[in-house]
Amino acid sequence: MLVNGIKSRPVYTGLTIDPNAGRHLFALEGEGPQALFDQVQQVGAGFLASAQILYVPTTAAPKDHAAKIAALKPDDLWLAPTIAVLLNRFRNELSRATMRTRIYVAGTEGFIGQVMRETLDFGVDHKSIRNEHRGSEARRVQCVHCKGITEDVKTSPYACTHCGLNLLVRDHYSRRLAAFQGVSIEAEEPGTAPPPEELFR
Amino acid sequence: MSINTDMAVRVTAITQVAESVKRFRFERLDGKPFPVFPGGAHVVVAWKDGGMIRRNPYSLMSAPGDTSAYEISVLRVEKSRGGSAFLHEKVKLGDTLSLSQPVDLFPIDQRGRKHIFMAGGIGITPFMAMMDQLSKLNQNFELHYAVRTRTHGAYWQELTERYGAHRVKIYCDAEKLFIPTEPLLGAQPLGTHLYVCGPGGMIDGVLGTARKLGWPEENLHSERFLAPPPGAPFTVKLTRSNKTVEVAEHQSILEAVEAAGVDAPFMCRGGACGQCETNVTACDGEILHHDHYLPQADKASGKKIMICVSRIKGKEITLDL
Amino acid sequence: MNIKFKQETFRDDFSFQNSPEAIRRFPFPFHEDKYMYSVNMEPHVPGSKGHAYETLIDVDEHYISEMADRAKVLKEDPLRCQALPHMMQAQWDTLELLMEQMAEGYPDLFTLTRQADQWHWINRPLNIDQKFTFGDVTTLPCEPMEYITRQSQGDFCIVDQRDNNLWMDAGIATTQADWSLDFDIGMNFMEWHGPVPLAHQMGVFERALKFLLNLQQGKPVRRLNWTMTINPRLDTSPENYHKWGSDRMTVTPENVGQKVHLRCELQSLWRLPRSNAILFVIRCYLLKMGELVEVPKWGRRFPRVLKSLPPELVDYKGLTRFRDMTVEWLSKYDDGKPTSPGIYPD
């Protein structure tokens, strides 16, 4: 099966601040705040007075990101212990948001995908969401066979953490599942899976 | 590969619904039901005007599920190229015309959690069908309708009665009442879609305000009534059909080409759908692009033209037709 | 039209086969002795008697058995049938279109009676008699798309049109050539065709999309697509690839005629009236190599097509392991004579 030249992978176009928005709602993870800091450097800190920032620091990210955000004095900063908790709070914010609210997401690909998915459920077009990839290139992958999602996949093939099949990670991405596709690499001839190769760091 | 699916119809009612606005009701000659259509769709109405076939697009305003008849409303335009004047003055009960299949270039975004319609004058027509459809689906919508005077505005009374004053707001220029665009658009919940139809200036104004307030482009929808603008006559050479055609002052290239018996593709005849995109082989003047379909780069290249609305300032253009 | 419905299987013992009439009506996808992608769309108008094009929604001798196979797949994996919430109107459009077409094409098998929104549907081959209110989901045993596509051969995708693109926002896929609806739902035209090689660079999808965005009501179009399948298996889904993939290892020079199948997709595309969505019908036909060579023109042409296929396509369509063996087997039937243009038997 070919893996090159596949079109469904999202293009992360950058966290560019929308100067017209009345409210800026950020969902950040891990290294995501760096995209925010870059914006502050470029356009100044003015937008932070109407910014609400939900941030989930991850173990891989330096500890001082949260402190640095706080020092910028956004209108509201909230730290979440896990992605699931952040998504829950984020949903709540969306239910109160207006058309003047601009949504920004930055972090790993798997995180961006999950936040985007929540937003789509509110009738928002994915193109309206500003996003920037920061941090690890590891992938969130759905096993097409058992449907189990494995986070932080760094190699292809990898063994599905749910059904154990050796899966090729295709460059085929589903916005709705916020995941890449994993397909059995040895379905035609069991026992022929090549050794895993680290492709996504 | 053109299959003719046009429908021959008879005019079964003509109603003066406001100053300068008439409603026309059409029923099929073959007695078959009309296709159901999506709210926002238009048909191209064709009729014989002297020796010429005229074709103009009009929004369908009847209930989308009513397959017994189609209805359109036509504003008598002062400087009409013949379309609205002909329908207003020459068309009589019982006359036969031809309608295309419905085409929707102004669709409702079904993902919307709420829909705001803003109409100016005759721009109300597509929204009549859209509101009928949404109300049957129990969906959330509001209409904000600007009219010049109460007597010029069509349907405002019946719409208010039908959907209630909480969903239908009328603003009358003569009473110095205007759509409060800014506060209105500033307070809409996430997932709202905005649809605007009316004069060009109104559309630009409303969309400009929405953008200024930070509305994303994906939630903004508009339809412009674009009649082919008149201009100085010029010559068109057609390379494939090996013909030379003169385009008159009040004629579009498409109409001139059709009159010469050349079958060119078309759908909306209003510069929106892209169907009549034509390659330009040569042009000794400047192409006046009136469409809102071609990307800016294509317009600048001088290699493409939408023949339903665009023309040239110059003597001659050669087309791959 | 008198269809003799077969009782047969598309799994386990694979008892599927085509009658001589079914062989001749097979929509053979090659109009010349070679193949490459193209925007090969033509008006979907009724064709000649005794061909798959005879009616616009084709019902054939495999109908009852295919519907039984679909029911099995859906029972094992209900995610094969999904619709995003904003597609409900398009679902009703789909139900209406399929019921109308089937009742018109096969009045002896299907009857649709309508009194305003009170509808009565009779499907004689499947013994279904259903009264329901059009537009009211609670009057059907399941959502309208699932209801009618459990009674219609082929896979179905309903695509929403917005932002100058088409979005696959609903569908049912139990006879698919290796793509996953559960994964692809919500994607746009370019995205769901992402994995197809070569065609993007050729601009095929760009042209096809432009064409489809202007598809009009009352003017459906069709095209043929194809691949090959080992054993007459309808459900060649990626979900079950680990179960059927090894079939490709079982081809031998002795069993090519029985095991290797040409799989043709007759795709028809219809603009839907209420939703402005487009219905993609992807109807799958299977033909054994042993059946294909019953038509001498096809027996000459198909090995020539297979031989001249670009390697990217051989790989993408999953033919690598058995192509050469199949060409070898078919070559007996290619006497080198020229073939007539077009897809129909001589």
The predicted-structure confidence for B260-291, as pLDDT tens digits, reads as follows 888 888 887 888 788 889 999 999 999 999 88
Measured between beta carbons, the chain B residues lying within 8 angstroms of C210 are 274
Query: Domain of A162?
Result: 139-195
Q: Is B211 within the bounds of a domain? A: yes
Residues A158, A105, single domain; the answer is no
What is the C-alpha to C-alpha distance for residues C266 and C284, in angstroms, rounded to an integer?
A: 6
CATH, residue A49: 3.40.50.80
- Residue B217 confidence (pLDDT): 95
- Of C150, C162, C223, C301, the catalytic one is C223
Please, which chains are in contact with A (at least 3 CB pairs closer than 8 A)?
B, C
Is B212 at the interface with chain A, CB within 8 A? yes
Q: Is C95 within the bounds of a domain? A: no
- Residue A6 confidence (pLDDT): 61
Residues A127, A28, single domain; the answer is yes
Q: Is B104 within the bounds of a domain? A: no
What is the C-alpha to C-alpha distance for residues B305 and B290, in angstroms, rounded to an integer?
A: 9
Chain B: closest CA distance from residue C317 (Å): 31
What separation, in Å, do the N-terminal and C-terminal C-alpha atoms of chain C show?
Answer: 23
- Which residues have C-beta within 8 Å of that of residue A36, sequence separation ≥ 6? A15, A26, A28, A53, A69, A104, A106
pLDDT tens for C52-61 read: 999 999 999 9
Using 50, 70 and 90 to split pLDDT, how confident is the model at C71? very high
| Closest partner CB to C183 (pick from A6, A127, A144) | A144
Q: How many residue pairs from chains B and C have C-beta atoms closer than 8 A? A: 54
pLDDT greater than 60 at residue A5: no
Residues A40, A97, single domain; the answer is yes
Q: Is C342 within the bounds of a domain? A: no
If one counts the domains in chain A, the total is: 2
Which of A79, A114, A133 terminates a domain? The answer is A133
CB contact under 8 A, C161 and B36: no
Which pair of structure tokens corresponds to residue B122? 């005759």
pLDDT greater than 80 at residue B1: no
Name the nearest CA neighbour of B1 among B262, B263, B238, B258: B263
CATH, residue B241: 3.10.20.30
Give the residue numbers in B contacting C (CB under 8 Å), as ranges. Answer: 1, 3, 5, 35-38, 40-41, 64-65, 101-104, 107, 109-111, 133, 136-137, 218, 267, 273-275
Chain C: closest CA distance from residue B108 (Å): 8
Measured between beta carbons, the chain C residues lying within 8 angstroms of A165 are 242
Which of A84, A106, A133 terminates a domain? The answer is A133
Query: Domain of B250?
Result: 234-319
Instruction: Give the nearest chain A residue to B209 (CA atoms).
Output: A20
Residues A35, A88, single domain; the answer is yes
Using CB atoms and an 8 Å cut-off, which of residues 33-92 of chain A contact chain C? Answer: none
Which of B99, B129, B150 terminates a domain? The answer is B99
Q: Which region among B252-256, C52-56, C207-211 has the lowest average model confidence (pLDDT)?
A: C207-211
Q: Element (H or E) spanning C274, and its range?
A: none
CATH, residue B191: 3.40.50.80
**Average pLDDT of the segment spanning B213-232:** 88
CB contact under 8 A, B189 and A97: yes
What is the C-alpha to C-alpha distance for residues B256 and C198, in angstroms, rounded to an integer?
A: 41
CB contact under 8 A, B111 and C210: no
Q: Is A128 within the bounds of a domain? A: yes
Q: Is B302 within the bounds of a domain? A: yes
Q: Is B127 within the bounds of a domain? A: yes
Measured between beta carbons, the chain C residues lying within 8 angstroms of A8 are 187, 190-192, 194
- The residue assigned the tokens 């054993």 is C231
Q: Which of B28, B111, B275, B308 to mutate to test the interface with C (most CBs of C within 10 A)?
A: B111
Which of A114, A133, A152 terminates a domain? The answer is A133
Residues A125, A185, single domain; the answer is no
Q: Which of A95, A98, A99, A127 to mutate to test the interface with B (most CBs of B within 10 A)?
A: A99
Burial class, A172, CB count within 10 angstroms (exposed 0-12 / middle 13-18 / buried 19+): buried
Q: Is A13 within the bounds of a domain? A: no
**Average pLDDT of the segment spanning A43-70:** 89
Using CB atoms and an 8 Å cut-off, which of residues 112-151 of chain C contact chain B? Answer: 135
Q: How many C-beta atoms surround the C-beta of residue A124 within 10 A? A: 24
Q: Which of C217, C219, C269, C271 to mutate to test the interface with B (most CBs of B within 10 A)?
A: C217
- Residue B315 confidence (pLDDT): 94
* Bridge partners, residue B318, by sequence: B237, B282
Which pair of structure tokens corresponds to residue B40? 């926002």
What is the C-alpha to C-alpha distance for residues B277 and C215, in angstroms, rounded to an integer?
A: 15
pLDDT greater than 90 at residue C142: yes
- Residue B225 confidence (pLDDT): 65
- Residue pair C56/C101 in contact (Cβ under 8 Å)? The answer is yes
| CA distance readout (Å), A101 to A25, A32, A129, B29, C53 | 7, 20, 10, 53, 52
Q: Are strands C260-271 and C118-123 parallel, antiparallel or unpaired?
A: unpaired
Is C327 or B55 the better-scoring residue by pLDDT? C327
pLDDT greater than 50 at residue C115: yes
Is A131 at the interface with chain B, CB within 8 A? no
Q: Which region among A146-160, B47-61, C275-289 has the lowest average model confidence (pLDDT)?
A: B47-61
pLDDT greater than 60 at residue A1: no
Is C165 at the interface with chain A, CB within 8 A? no
Chain B: closest CA distance from residue A33 (Å): 23
Instruction: Give the nearest chain C residue to A192 (CA atoms).
Output: C246
pLDDT tens for B149-180 read: 998 899 999 999 999 999 999 999 999 999 99
What is the C-alpha to C-alpha distance for residues B183 and B173, in angstroms, rounded to an integer?
A: 19
Using 50, 70 and 90 to split pLDDT, how confident is the model at A91? very high
Backbone region of residue C145 per phi and psi (left: phi > 0; alpha: psi in -120 to 50; beta: other values): alpha
Is B112 at the interface with chain A, CB within 8 A? yes
Residues A37, A112, single domain; the answer is yes
State yes or no: cis peptide before A157, omega within 30 of 0.
Answer: yes
CB contact under 8 A, C273 and B101: no
Query: Domain of C207?
Result: 20-56+153-331
Q: Is B267 within the bounds of a domain? A: yes
pLDDT greater than 60 at residue B114: yes
Residues A113, A152, single domain; the answer is no
Is C346 at the interface with chain B, CB within 8 A? no
CB contact under 8 A, B111 and A125: yes
Using 50, 70 and 90 to split pLDDT, how confident is the model at C76? very high
Residues B56, B143, single domain; the answer is no
If one counts the domains in chain C, the total is: 1
Measure CA B33 to chain center.
23
Name the E strands within A30-100. 51-56, 76-79
Residues B94, B119, single domain; the answer is no
| Closest partner CB to B191 (pick from A21, A100, A123) | A123
Using CB atoms and an 8 Å cut-off, which of residues 212-251 of chain C contact chain A? Answer: 238-246, 248-249
Residues A151, A128, single domain; the answer is no
Chain C: closest CA distance from residue B315 (Å): 32
**Average pLDDT of the segment spanning A142-171:** 94
Residues B73, B28, single domain; the answer is yes
CATH, residue B65: 2.40.30.10
Q: Where are the alpha helices (DSSP H) in C117-231?
A: 144-149, 181-184, 189-192, 204-213
- Residue pair A101/A77 in contact (Cβ under 8 Å)? The answer is no
DSSP string, C89-110: HHHHHHHHHHHHHHHHH-TTTE
- Residue pair A157/A144 in contact (Cβ under 8 Å)? The answer is no
Using 50, 70 and 90 to split pLDDT, how confident is the model at A4? very low
Residue B256 has phi, psi (to 5 degrees) of: -65, -40
The single-letter DSSP state of residue C236 is B
Measured between beta carbons, the chain C residues lying within 8 angstroms of A183 are 238, 241
The single-letter DSSP state of residue A150 is E
pLDDT greater than 50 at residue B2: no
What is the C-alpha to C-alpha distance for residues A111 and A33, in angstroms, rounded to an integer?
A: 13
What is the C-alpha to C-alpha distance for residues C261 and C228, in angstroms, rounded to an integer?
A: 6
Residues A32, A114, single domain; the answer is yes
Using 50, 70 and 90 to split pLDDT, how confident is the model at B147? very high
Q: How many C-beta atoms surround the C-beta of residue B108 within 10 A? A: 29
pLDDT greater than 80 at residue C198: no
Is C87 at the interface with chain B, CB within 8 A? yes
| Closest partner CB to C191 (pick from A7, A127, A147) | A7
CB contact under 8 A, C86 and B35: no
Is C184 at the interface with chain A, CB within 8 A? yes
Residues B122, B214, single domain; the answer is yes
What is the C-alpha to C-alpha distance for residues C108 and B133, in angstroms, rounded to an integer?
A: 35
Using CB atoms and an 8 Å cut-off, which of residues 254-313 of chain B contact chain A? Answer: none
Q: Is residue A103 helix, strand or coil? A: strand
Kindly report the average pLDDT of chain C as a whole number. Answer: 94
Q: A32-38 long-range CB contacts below 8 Å, 24 or more apart?
A: A32/A105, A32/A106, A32/A107, A32/A111, A32/A132, A32/A134, A32/A135, A33/A65, A33/A66, A33/A68, A33/A69, A33/A106, A34/A65, A34/A106, A34/A134, A35/A106, A35/A132, A35/A134, A36/A69, A36/A104, A36/A106, A37/A68
| CA distance readout (Å), C99 to C23, C111, C112, C115, C122 | 26, 8, 7, 15, 10
Residues B143, B245, single domain; the answer is no
pLDDT greater than 90 at residue B259: no
Instruction: Give the nearest chain A residue to B216 (CA atoms).
Output: A128
Portion of chain C with pLDDT greater than 90, in percent: 83
Q: Is B1 within the bounds of a domain? A: no
Residues A46, A89, single domain; the answer is yes
Q: How many C-beta atoms surround the C-beta of residue B261 within 10 A? A: 9
- Residue pair B45/B126 in contact (Cβ under 8 Å)? The answer is no
Is A18 at the interface with chain B, CB within 8 A? yes
pLDDT greater than 60 at residue A3: no
Name the nearest CA neighbour of A168 among A124, A136, A200, A128: A200
Q: Is C252 within the bounds of a domain? A: yes
Residues B209, B279, single domain; the answer is no
Instruction: Give the nearest chain B residue to A23 (CA atoms).
Output: B214
CB contact under 8 A, A123 and B190: yes
- Residue pair C227/C234 in contact (Cβ under 8 Å)? The answer is no
CA dihedral B211, B212, B215, B217 (to 10 degrees): 20
Please say if C323 is a catalytic residue. no
**Average pLDDT of the segment spanning A147-165:** 94
Q: Element (H or E) spanning C244, and its range?
A: helix C241-244
Using 50, 70 and 90 to split pLDDT, how confident is the model at A62? low
- Residue pair C288/C258 in contact (Cβ under 8 Å)? The answer is yes
Q: Are strands C81-83 and C42-43 parallel, antiparallel or unpaired?
A: unpaired
What is the C-alpha to C-alpha distance for residues B269 and B230, in angstroms, rounded to an integer?
A: 14
Is A101 at the interface with chain B, CB within 8 A? yes
Considering the entire predicted model, what is its pTM? Answer: 0.92
Name the nearest CA neighbour of B72 among B40, B26, B105: B26
CB contact under 8 A, C194 and A8: yes
**Average pLDDT of the segment spanning A132-150:** 93
Q: Where are the alpha helices (DSSP H) in C106-186?
A: 144-149, 181-184
Q: Are strands A51-56 and A76-79 parallel, antiparallel or unpaired?
A: parallel
If one counts the domains in chain B, the total is: 3
Q: Is A85 within the bounds of a domain? A: yes
Q: Is C13 within the bounds of a domain? A: no
Using 50, 70 and 90 to split pLDDT, how confident is the model at C200? confident
Q: Is C118 within the bounds of a domain? A: no
- Residue pair B153/B100 in contact (Cβ under 8 Å)? The answer is no
Using 50, 70 and 90 to split pLDDT, how confident is the model at B33? very high
Q: Element (H or E) spanning B217, and its range?
A: none
Portion of chain B with pLDDT greater than 70, in percent: 97
- Residue B289 confidence (pLDDT): 93
- Which residues have C-beta within 8 Å of that of residue C79, sequence separation ≥ 6? A147, C181, C182
- The residue assigned the tokens 């290249």 is B301
CB contact under 8 A, C217 and B133: no
- Residue B268 confidence (pLDDT): 79
What sign results for the dihedral spanned by CA atoms C305, C308, C310, C314?
A: positive
Residues A60, A40, single domain; the answer is yes
Q: Is A178 within the bounds of a domain? A: yes
Residues A60, A120, single domain; the answer is yes
